Structure 1
């Protein structure tokens, strides 16, 4: 392997180690900052996981739903898979550079070692979980089953191609960067990229649509958590999509930079779903009722005026509806006033 490939692999491992976490001396301050009071970097992955678990386990047992327990299991699986992948890459790098002096022959002989195959299997599992979760989040925002069937079919194709890729890359003499393993890996990455890009585009489009129809009616900043740039990047798993695209391009053209982007791609396959889960458990993420809730808030906070035939109807902030000289085809209705009570559960009183 070229020096550029080895540099990319080394820098990628270092960056992944930083993103994963270096030490956790103060678990009680996970939510406060990425740096602890001792100055040691915790790492994005461990911070996100810690905040999510702390939020979930602070709830009383009787208040935890099945969805909460799903998030606990799902997040823990992602963390364990990330840990296995990082440990495998670090051990492989140590054997390659320190023990064997960066020998190209050693790399060719051991790239399909059992622990590397194990790490590859873990990566496939994480990617399938992340893609499935992204499909689910797209369904939540659109609240329609029409966005589900085609991505699910592509997901099933990813499952089959991923197993085939593991077979070829894990066989004796197999290499992800050559032969049939290279071809199947490219097909696999293309399928996952299709899911990532389409789901990200649909989620961003949905959020922008809501921002135009609802967000502009609320000027008090209450929609920032739903329509802000950070919210859009996290909800759409944009970082996961960006790094998967960069890795696919460099891998397909045979660039040695693929070793660098491979590390970021593998890491953000874990971090992006974890970010979404953290927003969900802390109550900042989109749900299937968010749009209706925002519409209700905007209706309550702003006067609404509509014209009906030749008359007018006005709802003001005091809860009064005034109708004057309103015509309904043949005949007319005189001046009427409807008064609403602000008490919960009250109906309209006709005066």
Structure 2
């Protein structure tokens, strides 16, 4: 039976804040385990699939994921140590762990976590903007410049506000840091949500056009639900929305999301890189490498196919050995394909 005298002399709100903080730290470690697993998988696959043709890209991705994982490790280490100090080493500070966070928010251990969080966030945001450019690369130059301009400006604004947050951590009041932190979070998360919507929209349009021209069985690799969620980093955007709402209204639940949101963003990027390594991610030539045929998607598949070239014509005639009803026949089909969608 629990004894009420064992409970700390704190208000229910303060206890709820501490519970959210501690649970967030535990969830952060769980998410870091997922991050570690994906890092090892990506690193191994990038090395395994490296060839002279793709060596430059794979080496760049290896360096990138190594830097991101190192920053994530420092963040988890700093966050775990700061939580340990608040709940174990200095538990008797007046006001409890919540007061410890307010009084020692500029502690070097906490600063390591905050700085690595910001730098990692910049790199992850940059990666997502790069993926956005790759997916929209075949759009006309005029439109791509307009589409890229806003995300790039938002990225620069995110980096700028992040630098302000870092400089204010050790020189300003907690209130000032919280205010600028909200601006930073809103800018970074807004960037991710915008890019997520644009990427998902592009993939959905591609899915519709592929399904219309070639049939639904040709749309799975790039535009099934899982592919769209991964390629657009929707997992992070959904989680980030929950975080910014709770953080913006001052709910202690925001502390829970705050400690996990960086790992979720890293996991989203590693999932994209894993698809890149397996050759399933959208690449520079995806939109032109798969032809769009004029054959109706409702046509019955014809197999096997033999090709006959008419010397007096540039049309290649495909002759099937089965008709639409499965019988033997000499059905001749003229198929025309476009190289672009």
**TM-score clears 0.5:** yes
In structure 1, what is the equivalent of residue 302 of structure 2?
Answer: none
Write out per-residue CA displacement over residues 276-322 of structure 1, whole angstroms, 9 at most, x where no aligned residue.
1111011110112112222x1x429x469xxxxxxxxxxxx766799
Indicate the SS of the match to 1:221: helix
RMSD: 2.6
Paired with 2:36 and 2:151, the residues of 1 have a C-alpha distance of 30
Q: CA deviation at 1:219?
A: 4.0
In structure 2, what is the equivalent of residue 14 of structure 1?
Answer: 26
Q: CA deviation at 1:2?
A: 1.5
Indicate the SS of the match to 2:284: coil
Indicate the SS of the match to 1:62: coil
1:287 aligns with 2:283: yes
Indicate the SS of the match to 1:214: helix
Q: CA deviation at 1:263?
A: 1.9
Q: Which has the higher contact order (CA 8 A, sep 6+)?
A: 2
In structure 2, what is the equivalent of residue 263 of structure 1?
Answer: 259
Question: Any residues of structure 2 matched to 1:190-339 within 5 Å, and which?
Answer: 190-219=186-215, 221-294=217-290, 296=291, 298-299=292-293, 302=295, 338-339=314-315
In structure 2, what is the equivalent of residue 33 of structure 1?
Answer: none
Change (3 A) 1:222 1:193: same
Change (3 A) 1:103 1:60: closer
In structure 1, what is the equivalent of residue 80 of structure 2?
Answer: 90
After TM superposition, the score normalised by the length of structure 1 is 0.75
1:58 aligns with 2:48: yes
Are the aligned partners of 2:203 and 2:228 in contact in 1 as well (CA < 8 Å)? yes
Change (3 A) 1:275 1:60: closer
Indicate the SS of the match to 1:2: helix
Are the aligned partners of 1:215 and 1:227 in contact in 2 as well (CA < 8 Å)? no
Indicate the SS of the match to 1:287: coil
Gaps of 5+ in 2: 1-12, 138-143, 298-304, 319-335, 337-341
Paired with 1:60 and 1:253, the residues of 2 have a C-alpha distance of 48
Are the aligned partners of 1:250 and 1:258 in contact in 2 as well (CA < 8 Å)? yes
Aligned residue-pair number? 289
Change (3 A) 1:103 1:189: closer
Paired with 2:178 and 2:50, the residues of 1 have a C-alpha distance of 50
Indicate the SS of the match to 2:293: helix
Write out per-residue CA displacement over residues 29-82 of structure 1, whole angstroms, 9 at most, x where no aligned residue.
xxxxxxxxxxxxxxx212211111111212456354211111001101110111
Question: Any residues of structure 2 matched to 1:170-181 within 5 Å, and which?
Answer: 170-171=170-171, 174-175=173-174, 179-181=175-177
1:3 aligns with 2:15: yes
Change (3 A) 1:261 1:319: same
Change (3 A) 1:62 1:99: same
Indicate the SS of the match to 1:171: coil
Paired with 1:341 and 1:55, the residues of 2 have a C-alpha distance of 42
Are the aligned partners of 2:210 and 2:216 in contact in 1 as well (CA < 8 Å)? no
Gaps of 5+ in 1: 22-43, 305-316, 323-335, 343-347
After TM superposition, the score normalised by the length of structure 2 is 0.78
Indicate the SS of the match to 2:280: coil
